[in-house]
Amino acid sequence: MPKYTYKCKKCEIVYDMVHSMSLKETICRECGEEPLTRVSSVLFSVDYKKQQKKKPGAVVKEFISETKEAIEEEKKEMQKDFEC
């Protein structure tokens, strides 16, 4: 599942959530208010200048590798939830 970054317009808290592409968060998990705004991922906004020096293929491979690691971590967390 993809990771999305949200920002609350009321309390201005920014946080990441992992959920299906068909869902969209609307209520802040911190203050319980609406609306939330989906913002650009920190990965792209922070690392962009650093990534400009790399070849595009290297950037894509690195992103895929990091995403696979995140998915494996999420799988492990989900398996813990289902263990008796």
User: What are 56-84's pLDDT values in tens digits?
Assistant: 788 888 889 988 988 888 888 888 877 75
Phi then psi for 2, rounded to 5 degrees? Answer: -75, 155
**Rounded-to-10 torsion of CA 6, 60, 45, 71:** 30
Percent of residues, the chain, with pLDDT higher than 70 = 81
Spell out the domain ranges in the chain.
1-39, 43-84
Mean pLDDT, the chain, integer: 78
Question: Cα separation of 42 and 23, whole Å?
Answer: 20
Tell whether pTM > 0.75: no
Q: Which of 45, 59, 60 is nearest to 5 (CA)?
A: 45
Per-residue model confidence as pLDDT tens digits over 27-61: 888 888 888 888 765 454 445 455 557 777 888 88
